[in-house]
Structure 1
Amino acid sequence: MPSALAGLLAGLSLIVAIGAQNAFVLRQGVRREHVGAVVAVCVAADLLLIGAGTAGLGALVHRHPAALTAARYGGAAFLATLAVLAILRVRRPERLDPAASGPARLAPVLGTCLALTFLNPHVYLDTVVLLGSLAGQRTQPWAFAAGAGTASVLWFTALGFGAGLLRPVFARPRAWQVLDVAVAAVMATLAVVLVV
């Protein structure tokens, strides 16, 4: 399989999952607020981390088990916190309706996006360690990285700008509750998997 195609498929298999970052991009897309900026931050972060992993940072981190252990437990705590926050949002459905709250300002939206991206150790395990290790095994590691980066561009663009099509579905707080229950379940499961 060509390296670029292998990178694309590996990138999509890791990035297309219900998680806090994807739920946030979906939420912004449904609200049609700062979608381009949010997509740009998510893509730029993935490209940076995939590039760092391909350049060898993943192998360096892999050689230091204490760093991986710290990332694993820190990631589990972070994901468990996100699960709790999602459940708390479910308990207050009136706050989930995008129409009920005013338009969000760009700075807090980007701050939240950056936090969900860079404070989640799972993203480092996926991009820097896993994709970086897979790229290092290829004869054309940068073609693999380009394919994985393309997966990020395609996914976040489709999710952010395609979410507007789901606006009628998410016009009711009940739909947001279902999404947040799913996010909480996935985050809790990932937290347990990281520790175990």
Structure 2
Amino acid sequence: MFQVALTGLLTGLALIIAVGAQNAFLLRQGIRGEQVLPIVLTCLVSDVVAITAGVAGLGVVLERWPSVLPVAQVLGGLYLIAFGLHAAMRAWRPTALDTGEGTTLTPGRAVLLTLALTWLNPHFYLDAVLMLGTVANSFGDDRWWFVSGTLVASVLWFFGLGFGARLLRGVFSRPSAWRVLDSGIAVFMGVLGVGLLAH
């Protein structure tokens, strides 16, 4: 159980840490110290809803049509490998994040922007619903241990990034920091993808 939860934690972190619009926005606002808590909570609730729905919904499908699992595992494995390759390409040509100043956000606008950056992103559905749902259900009855690990990853990442951003300003202003991070993500996702294909 612990190993499954740890796999969920590492998988969740690998998926969530990837530089994207949502993380860039949270990092930028965290550095500025502006509306951090509403943004963090919106990100977290979105993850809980999407991951839980993905695992439960895919679980129902697999109970009725168990032959779907091998197909989902192959597609999921290929997606993880592609995700890893994309991270490797980012590591090859890293860029620093633009965290420049801008207009002040109200709490409501911050939440709406976060919802848009999250739910209008197709990768969010691929990662949180399809990918994590597929990997979680490959663990059978232990799938909710995997989910618990992914949700812990979400809590650690969003709160850590949002409220620790000021401390990271110097680090992530350098492309080399993203190179190291993306390199680690590339290796982990590649290994996990191959493992899912071989399962």
Smaller-chain TM-score bracket: 0.5 to 0.7
- Secondary structure at 2:127's aligned position in 1? helix
Please tell me whether the aligned partners of residues 31 and 166 of structure 2 are also in contact (alpha carbons under 8 angstroms): yes
Q: 1:147 aligned to 142, 146, 149, which one?
A: 149
Q: 1:97 aligned to 96, 100, 110, which one?
A: 100
Q: Is structure 2 residue 164 aligned with structure 1 residue 165?
A: no
Please tell me whether the aligned partners of residues 43 and 152 of structure 1 are also in contact (alpha carbons under 8 angstroms): yes
What residue identity is the alignment partner of 1:153?
Answer: V
- Secondary structure at 1:55's aligned position in 2? helix
Aligned length: 144
Q: Which residue of the partner structure matches residue 73 of structure 1?
A: none
Q: Which residue of the partner structure matches residue 52 of structure 1?
A: 53
User: Cα distance 1:43–1:102, how it changes in 2: closer, same or farther (>3 A)?
Assistant: same
CA distance in 2, matches of 1:142, 1:20: 28
What residue identity is the alignment partner of 1:143?
Answer: W
Q: Which residue of the partner structure matches residue 82 of structure 1?
A: none
Q: Which residue of the partner structure matches residue 89 of structure 2?
A: none
- Secondary structure at 2:153's aligned position in 1? helix
- Secondary structure at 1:11's aligned position in 2? helix
Please tell me whether the aligned partners of residues 58 and 137 of structure 2 are also in contact (alpha carbons under 8 angstroms): no
TM-score w.r.t. the length of structure 2 is 0.63
TM-score w.r.t. the length of structure 1 is 0.64
Q: Deviations over 1:100-120 (max 9, x none)?
A: x44221111111100000000
User: Cα distance 1:24–1:58, how it changes in 2: closer, same or farther (>3 A)?
Assistant: farther
CA distance in 2, matches of 1:56, 1:112: 27
CA distance in 1, matches of 2:103, 2:171: 20
Please tell me whether the aligned partners of residues 31 and 167 of structure 1 are also in contact (alpha carbons under 8 angstroms): no
- 5+ residue gaps, structure 2: 62-67, 69-74, 76-96, 180-199
- Secondary structure at 2:130's aligned position in 1? helix
Please tell me whether the aligned partners of residues 59 and 129 of structure 1 are also in contact (alpha carbons under 8 angstroms): no
- 5+ residue gaps, structure 1: 69-89, 183-196
Please tell me whether the aligned partners of residues 58 and 128 of structure 1 are also in contact (alpha carbons under 8 angstroms): no
**RMSD value, Cα:** 3.1
- Secondary structure at 2:27's aligned position in 1? helix
CA distance in 1, matches of 2:60, 2:130: 7
User: Cα distance 1:33–1:14, how it changes in 2: closer, same or farther (>3 A)?
Assistant: same
